[in-house]
Chains A and B, each alone.
Chain A
């Protein structure tokens, strides 16, 4: 059974100093589905995504109100350690950012950090993660070459393999295809559709077609507010809110 409120955002507001970036966001993100966050630049979609991983903690002068719960557990519970949280949440960024290491070492990086060094276990993780990231066939003979020798699309899939090596529950993707060509983009999108069998995926995208192609749910944010959230098909074919319609059809002046 899919849990409908796997990620529960409860009246969440977020402030950078005096500036309020998110206003009372309330949404339930279902388990093992792809949820797309769309909206114009500065609408707060990346801020919301990064809050799901507490990545904004490091910025000075930020504060929040409300709560975000992952599988029932509050992210801001004082008992939650950020390190253990990050194990539950994998993250992929706009610009692929493999480490200056071999393909193999990139994938097992988080396991080594956690002190897991048994070769057989690491070998298994590498193969499983690279297969899940649809990269295994392309790199299985180059596992010990530098990650920088891969193409852009391959490097991004390597980052996805790295993000899922630790078997997180949630995969957050911030414009994962922004730096890729159309072919590599389609590969990543097809991968996203496969990965949702195992992970709950939240993706920030500027690309409307991408949201329609690979997400099940779409949330439209505008000026820090959640304007509309629903099934992707409904949001793009028959949006309920005028602002959503104006944005997706390109009518913001």
Chain B
């Protein structure tokens, strides 16, 4: 973690403070966007959906600023050690947050279409999936801001739970789809909403990996065993339960971003 000793160049500390602040801001914007997209869907609030779509531009702008400031710091100060990791991981976290916000936009766009049709009670099925995805996002951001490698690595293990909820919910919605009827289109929208939430979880896992890199200089991407080891060594204080489930060790997981369907549709 970065020490609190001031840098010999005052502008260097200011640049770092600004960069960290921007990442926090962007994380807040993104999380609110995701929350409002789900609220818009469940409460059939079309204004909220429109706000999500409009506010995504702010997230995009913040990402651009983070990249510009990060490049500026690299170019001017040649940071090393934890400072170097801070710059690199801030830029990576920003890219992941931007994509999460894109998923919020996807959800908001589908919500808008759904609102024009009568309410289906099955919309409630997405709530537990959202809760899991949001918890991962919240902890990913916290792990990053606090340089908490234990919490960051735990996300890789906890994401399984979200994957299961995604499979379960998608299976249920597929059944309803197969039955056909006038609501088939709504169920299809819901399948895509659930899929977006699952992708949010994957992107939160990426941010957790960035937090580990920031804290320990260790790259745990595609290395589930490394994540398990870090969680054991740096236990998560306020975890609700043991994130390492039996039978999970050694199962190399896929990483978000390499597979299809991540951008705006």
Contact = CB atoms under 8 A, between A and B. Distances in A.
A246 B8 CA distance: 10
Nearest to B9: A250
Interface of B is mostly: loop
Contacts of A250: 7-9, 12, 77
Contacts of B217: 237-238
Interface stretch (B45-53, B80-88, B128-136, B160-168): B80-88
B81 A237 contact: yes
Given A237-B217, A238-B217, A251 B80 contact: no
B5 interface: yes
Interface in B48-74: none
Contacts of A244: 81
A2 interface: no
Interface in A189-211: 208-209
**Chain A interface residue number, banded:** 10 to 19
B80 A249 contact: yes
Given A238-B217, A253-B8, A248 B3 contact: no
Contacts of B216: 238
A137 interface: no
A245 interface: yes
Given A237-B217, A238-B217, A242-B3, A252 B78 contact: no
Interface string A210-253: 00100000000000000000000000111100101110111111
Chain B: number of interface residues, binned into ranges: 10 to 19
B250 interface: no
Nearest to A237: B217
B9 A245 contact: no
A4 B7 CA distance: 36
Contacts of B7: 249-251
Contact of B81 (A209, A249, A252): A249
A214 to B, nearest CB: 15
A246 B80 contact: no
A245 B12 contact: no
B151 to A, nearest CB: 20
B5 A248 contact: no
B12 A248 contact: no
Contacts of A252: 5, 8
Interface in B1-35: 3, 5-9, 12
B79 interface: yes
A209 B74 CA distance: 13
Contact of A253 (B5, B77, B79, B83): B5
Interface of A: 208-209, 212, 236-239, 242, 244-246, 248-253
